[in-house]
């Protein structure tokens, strides 16, 4: 059922399904809010997520409702670009850590928006006594942990963006192994500051490889040398990859301009317990500039076409179907893939 607040504003004779966007529209930059504009375009053009978001029966004073209203503006307006002044103000009121007119981080913006939507529309799963008994007897710790978490958090964000990692910690001295589970909604990847172009799978191989765990003592022998390796046990429907392009060097923050070539179709089988984990590229968040000044824009797929959303300006892109490419951005900031 479509959100009633907006069904009432649109007569039955003029109402059209918002599930498939009309012609793409830009978002006006009203004060260094390019980071927010880029994230909104990325979420809006994620069609399955947009479809479910617009059906949420949420509080009329919630941030989610304000985002829904903004989505409807993008869908219904006949203008080529939408004024973002009202939504930008609502965003700043909801997230006071972001300041008007300041340079802000797009990934931090995305994580805050997803967290707020989840909190405002959370419907924990209520389990019967026998369900709990069955869960307790479950020998698969990954599934047991996942189901326990859904008793606390179960919402549109957990359905789309949340995955699960298994952290395997192994002592080099006594071989004691400890397994821990944690959920994630973004894989944040450190980059090497090198001039050679790196392929995304090479970067992921490095991210998921076994590494020494500092400041940790073995639970059994109290040895100081242990290694940790992460394995994905639950793959999210939407995979968010962010690249740490800012690092501290000699007490100064520097931007890492490492080139990344990435595929239109990403196979993640090497990083999980299960196979057949294939993702299709849906959006790219680009960042240009330096530490002190920068600009964000987005490239998104909409109805089988690619568009560049640079604030108010929207241009159709011709992305060739190559196995690996930089697709107009050798230094992507965020990549968003959706499971095929």
CA distance 190 to 204: 10
In tens digits, what is the pLDDT along the chain, a chain of 340 residues? Answer: 345 444 444 433 334 455 555 689 999 999 899 999 999 999 999 999 999 999 999 999 999 999 999 999 999 888 999 999 999 999 999 999 999 999 999 999 999 999 999 999 999 877 554 455 455 555 688 888 998 899 999 999 999 999 999 999 999 889 999 999 999 999 999 987 777 888 999 999 999 999 988 888 888 998 887 899 999 999 999 999 999 987 777 778 888 888 899 999 999 999 999 889 999 999 999 998 887 788 999 999 998 899 999 999 999 998 877 777 777 777 899 999 999 9
- For the chain, strand residue ranges (E) read 26-27, 81-82, 163-171, 177-184, 187-190, 198-199, 211-213, 226-234, 238-244, 246-249, 252-255, 260-261, 265-267, 278-289, 294-302, 305-310, 313-317, 332-339
Closest Cα to residue 335, out of 110, 118, 53? 110
| Residue 23: partners with Cβ closer than 8 Å, 6 or more residues away | none
CA distance 161 to 33: 24
Contact 166, 144 (CB under 8 A): no
Buried b (16+ CB within 10 A) or exposed e, 148-160: ebbeebbbbbbbb
State whether residue 92 is helix, strand or coil.
helix
| Residue 249: partners with Cβ closer than 8 Å, 6 or more residues away | none
Where is 36: in which H helix or E strand? helix 34-44
Residue 63 is predicted with a pLDDT of: 98
Cβ neighbours of 193 (radius 10 Å) = 12
CA distance 200 to 198: 6
């Amino acid at each position: 059922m479509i959100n009633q607040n907006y069904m009432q504003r649109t007569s039955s004779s003029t109402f059209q399904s918002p599930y498939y966007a009309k012609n793409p529209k830009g978002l006006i930059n009203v004060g260094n809010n390019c980071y927010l504009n880029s994230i909104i375009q990325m979420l809006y053009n994620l069609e399955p997520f947009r479809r479910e978001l617009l059906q949420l029966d949420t509080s009329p004073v919630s941030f989610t409702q304000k985002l829904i209203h903004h989505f409807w503006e993008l869908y219904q307006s006949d203008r080529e670009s939408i004024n973002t002044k009202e939504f930008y103000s609502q965003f700043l009121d909801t997230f006071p850590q972001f300041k008007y007119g300041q340079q802000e981080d797009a990934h931090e913006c995305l994580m805050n928006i997803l967290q707020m939507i989840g909190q405002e529309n959370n419907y924990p799963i209520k389990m019967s006594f026998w369900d709990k008994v069955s869960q307790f007897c479950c020998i698969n710790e990954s599934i047991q942990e996942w189901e326990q978490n859904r008793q606390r958090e179960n919402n549109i964000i957990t359905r789309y963006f949340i995955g699960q990692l298994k952290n395997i910690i192994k002592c080099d001295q006594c071989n004691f192994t400890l397994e821990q589970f944690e959920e994630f909604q973004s894989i944040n990847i450190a980059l090497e500051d090198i001039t050679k172009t790196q392929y995304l799978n090479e970067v992921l191989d490095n991210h998921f490889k076994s590494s020494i765990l500092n400041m940790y003592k073995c639970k059994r022998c109290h040895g100081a040398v242990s290694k940790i390796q992460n394995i994905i046990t639950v793959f999210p429907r939407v995979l968010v990859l962010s690249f740490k392009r800012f690092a501290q060097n000699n007490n100064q923050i520097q931007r890492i301009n490492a080139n990344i070539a990435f595929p239109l179709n990403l196979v993640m089988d090497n990083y999980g317990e299960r196979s057949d984990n294939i993702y299709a590229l849906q959006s790219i968040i680009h960042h240009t500039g330096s530490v002190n000044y920068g600009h964000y824009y987005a490239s998104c797929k909409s109805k089988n076409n690619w568009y560049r959303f640079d604030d108010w300006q929207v241009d159709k892109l011709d992305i060739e179907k190559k196995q690996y490419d930089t697709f107009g951005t050798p230094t992507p900031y965020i990549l968003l893939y959706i499971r095929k």
